[in-house]
């Protein structure tokens, strides 16, 4: 019983960490990387599709992405989708190639992105703590039902706390790396 609770807690904490990682990929750092456009969806014959399923996205140089739709008729739709995304990018089309230059980050936008990263980090910490609370509640319920002893309960709560500390430390490490990445000129 206790092992199942711990496995469930660890998998949920890992999902929180993965979600933070995905959110950090959406915060741009001034350098071009293909995952920047992962959140962009394109209207493809009446259904919304991720951009990487209707076009190839490549890094042309350190500050430019190139997007090549697989169908010539999709070029304007892909360009419109990139423009209307909340990423603040202005693509330019040359034939069937859409180039997406990364604008320089000002000190003010860097600080704004750091604030956003810290907010995402705090949300991840809260999610991990909520998982801890749920797991501890399940353990207390087992104790109440007399399925485990007080010693087992105490040990299990300590192990859940160690798991929580481990994932909070990983979250803090991710934030530190992202802040360092954002402050590089």
Read off the CATH number of the domain in which 64 is found: 3.30.1360.40
CATH code of residue 171: 1.10.132.20
- The pLDDT, as a whole number, for residue 30 is 66
pLDDT (mean) for 44-59: 87
Is residue 7 predicted with pLDDT exceeding 80? yes
Together in a domain, 111 and 177 = yes
- The pLDDT, as a whole number, for residue 158 is 93
Encode 132-146: b = buried (16+ Cβ within 10 Å), e = exposed.
Answer: beebbebbeebbeee
- Point out the domain boundary residue: 84, 101, 118: 101
pTM > 0.85: yes or no: no
Interior CA angle at 117 toward 158 and 110, to 5°? 150
- Point out the domain boundary residue: 79, 101, 123: 101
Together in a domain, 65 and 93 = yes
Distance, CA of 60 to CA of 88 (rounded, Å) = 19
What phi and psi, each to the nearest 5 degrees, are found at residue 98? -105, 120
More confident residue, 89 or 69: 69
Q: What percent of the chain has pLDDT over 70?
A: 98
Together in a domain, 73 and 164 = no
pLDDT (mean) for 53-68: 86
Together in a domain, 84 and 114 = no
Distance from CA of residue 100 to its chain's centroid? 22
Number of domains in the chain: 2
Residue 72 lies in domain: 34-101
If pLDDT is split at 50, 70 and 90, which confidence band does 107 have? confident
Together in a domain, 147 and 58 = no
Together in a domain, 97 and 160 = no
Together in a domain, 90 and 129 = no
Residue-wise pLDDT tens digits, 161-183: 999 999 999 999 999 988 888 88
């Amino acid at each position: 019983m206790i092992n199942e609770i711990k496995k469930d807690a660890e998998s949920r904490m890992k999902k929180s960490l993965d979600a933070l990682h995905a959110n950090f990929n959406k915060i741009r750092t001034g350098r071009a990387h293909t995952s920047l456009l992962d959140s962009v969806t394109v209207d493809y014959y009446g259904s919304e599709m991720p951009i990487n399923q209707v076009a190839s996205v490549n890094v042309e140089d350190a500050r430019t992405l190139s997007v090549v739709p697989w169908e010539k008729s999709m070029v304007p739709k892909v360009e419109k989708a990139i423009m209307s995304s909340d990423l603040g990018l202005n693509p330019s089309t040359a034939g069937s190639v859409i180039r997406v230059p990364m604008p320089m980050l000002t000190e003010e936008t860097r600080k704004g992105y750091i604030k956003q990263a810290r907010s995402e980090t705090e949300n991840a910490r809260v999610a991990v703590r909520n998982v801890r609370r749920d797991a501890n509640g399940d353990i207390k319920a087992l104790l109440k039902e007399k399925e485990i002893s007080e010693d087992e309960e105490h040990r299990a709560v300590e192990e859940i706390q160690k798991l929580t500390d481990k994932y909070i430390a990983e979250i803090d490490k991710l934030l530190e790396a992202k802040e360092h990445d954002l402050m590089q000129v």
